[in-house]
A and B are shown apart, each in its own frame.
Chain A
Amino acid sequence: MGRKYVLGIESTAHTFATAIVDDELNILSDVRDVVKPGETLGIDPKLTAEHHANVAPQVLKKALDDAGMDIIDIDAVAYSMGPGLGPALRIGATVARAIAYKFKKPLYPVHHGIGHIELTSSLLGFKDPLVVIVSGGHTSILSFSLGRWRTYGETLDITLGNLMDMFARKIGIPFPGGPKIEEIARKGRKYIEMPYGIKGNNMVYSGLLTYATQLIGKEPVENIAYSLQETAFTVLVEATERALTQVSKKEIGLTGGVASNDRLYNMMCDMASEHGVKVGRLEKKYNSDNGVQIAVVGILYMKSGYAPVPVEEAVIKQRIRVEEVEVPWR
């Protein structure tokens, strides 16, 4: 039996991406095009969708060229169905449906978050991890139980990515501000006590953002950034530790944009080592949204014999929780 190939299409937020992955999870191509954000705004859904529609043909062509394939060589198409921005998601779904219809390819809608989770597990070689997703769209602690990925803790208001980016914007750093904040925080010397928002295994960050914002101009920005990071990360690591003691897993996979932050990674390792638990994170480029994560889930669906979705039922869902998605491959 020959190799099988899945084309993955990602378009939940600011990234339009395509990738081709084979059934042994080798990555044959990975092409992305990220919309340039405005100076003062976050993501504009309409402009984002326009961008995606404009770049879609060349991003798709490049993925095929890089893999040395023609569209007819693809065995299935997987696309990001949500959660995300409606107008942006619609572009990816439209491209996916068009290919599936014209070339008669099986079609798999993929939950974007599950893409992050499965890509993390497979690249790290983790069998049954606790997954911590920290990005602009998610801040959740997840673990697999009774046939589904389930949330054991999450933010109750804004995400960790939002917190970092919004604070960055207030001090004049453009999106994505997280990496810059990490740099500035390294120079912080004094810890300023800030609102510590933990509710069981869940986090609350908006009070922290307001508090830190109000200190701008009154305290050196290095100290604010340092204290903001320490507080926000301590809350997350504490919530993760609480979840860990409840589900007793042996691995923690850290993923999403904020996973690239070394301070967070080191804190997670310090916590995990006390429990004899291993922490892993991906290479930086796989922490951002990409087509590989979607293609990987497509492969998993295909290999488990899960029925593909007819073109007319291939919808998008702006809001869909991981618990709503059946996971036939675990």
Chain B
Amino acid sequence: MEIRGLLEHFLEDGVMISKGAESNLYKISYYGKPAVLKYRVEKKYRIKELDKKIRRRRTFGEASSIYEAWKKGINVPRLLYADLERYYLIMEYLEGEVLREAILKKKYTDEEISVIASSLGEMIANLHNIDIVHGDLTTANIIIKDELRPYLIDFGLSERRSDPEAKAVDIEMFYRVLESTHTMEREKFFNAFIQAYKKNVLNSKEIISRFNRIRRMGRYIEERRRRS
């Protein structure tokens, strides 16, 4: 049984804005300002021990990553409150549009896409430079605010990693998303993205060479046979 407390108070006044795979998002009012409450819900399919560990680890990981990133001036929502015992966070509410939907609706010109991709590349480089990998880089986790400024959200699978391998995996996952979800825009988007990323990330040569190797690691990829 979970105790009744602050969480229930927030949820009562809040409006659910999305029900994700592992958490529910509510728009609430926090000290008079619009905010987002992200609550990691219990999953029946997991055994209790694992369920609690995962919820706690993710809530903590997300809170610390967005706080660290925000301190460095990276565009992420500001962390307002975290409760690791009840598995929820409160963050600043970002007014904007999810990049995935905006691209699918063909909202942007080619030029605008390049502008967004390139600021995103710089942003991910800055994140990697403080040894945080996002762990779930998709266009659904990017919010575009005015003046085409991208904000990164959903750090639930983020990790503190300094090795080039983890950073390369982050980039490779993003590449896959572009390939499957934004097939038409992939080339333009990724070129601008990777250029900006390379320019800003430390140890770029090592990361990029690993990225190229990981790309061939999926199962049943023909290119694998030609690896050196």
Chain A residues close to B by CB (< 8 Å): 82-83, 138, 140, 146, 150-152, 154-156, 159, 191, 193, 196, 198-200, 202, 230-231, 234, 237-238, 241-242, 244-246, 266-268, 270-271, 274, 317, 319-321
How distant is the Cα of A156 from the Cα of B50 in the complex, in angstroms?
22
Interface size bracket, B side: 20 to 34
A161 to chain B, nearest CB (A): 12
The answer to whether B157 touches A200 (Cβ under 8 A) is yes
A191-B173 in contact given A156-B217, A238-B21 (Cβ < 8 Å): no
The answer to whether A319 touches B138 (Cβ under 8 A) is no
Q: Does B7 belong to the interface (CB within 8 Å)?
A: no
Name the CB-closest residue of B to A153.
B176
The answer to whether A199 touches B169 (Cβ under 8 A) is yes
Q: Does B61 belong to the interface (CB within 8 Å)?
A: no
User: Which residues in A have their C-beta under 8 angstroms from that of B47?
Assistant: 191, 230
A193-B53 in contact given A200-B136, A238-B21 (Cβ < 8 Å): yes
User: Which residues in B have their C-beta under 8 angstroms from that of A241?
Assistant: 21-22
Q: Interface centre among B43, B138, B183, by most A CB within 10 Å?
A: B43
The answer to whether A270 touches B45 (Cβ under 8 A) is yes
How distant is the Cα of A83 from the Cα of B54 in the complex, in angstroms?
35
How distant is the Cα of A319 from the Cα of B81 in the complex, in angstroms?
49
A200-B50 in contact given A154-B218, A238-B22, A319-B225 (Cβ < 8 Å): no
Question: Which one of A140, A245, A320 contacts B21 once the chains associate, using CB atoms below 8 Å?
Answer: A245
A242-B21 in contact given A271-B45, A321-B220 (Cβ < 8 Å): yes
The answer to whether B45 touches A244 (Cβ under 8 A) is no
A85 to chain B, nearest CB (A): 12
The answer to whether B50 touches A150 (Cβ under 8 A) is no
Name the CB-closest residue of B to A237.
B45
The answer to whether A234 touches B50 (Cβ under 8 A) is yes
A319-B221 in contact given A241-B21, A270-B45, A271-B45 (Cβ < 8 Å): yes
User: Which residues in A have their C-beta under 8 angstroms from that of B44?
Assistant: 270-271, 274
Chain B 215-227, CB-CB to A under 8 Å as 1, else 0, gives: 0011111101100
Task: Give the 10 A-B residue pairs with the shortest CB-CB distance, closest first.
Answer: A270-B45, A267-B45, A319-B220, A242-B21, A83-B220, A241-B21, A270-B44, A271-B45, A245-B21, A191-B49
User: Which residues in A have their C-beta under 8 angstroms from that of B225?
Assistant: 319
The answer to whether A156 touches B140 (Cβ under 8 A) is no
How distant is the Cα of A238 from the Cα of B54 in the complex, in angstroms?
11
The answer to whether B218 touches A156 (Cβ under 8 A) is yes
A154-B219 in contact given A238-B21, A238-B22, A246-B140 (Cβ < 8 Å): yes
Q: Does B5 belong to the interface (CB within 8 Å)?
A: no
Question: Which one of A138, A191, A196, A271 contacts B54 once the chains associate, using CB atoms below 8 Å?
Answer: A196
A191 to chain B, nearest CB (A): 5
A-B contact pairs, 11 of them (CB 8 A): A156-B217, A200-B135, A230-B47, A234-B45, A234-B46, A234-B50, A238-B22, A245-B19, A245-B20, A319-B225, A321-B219
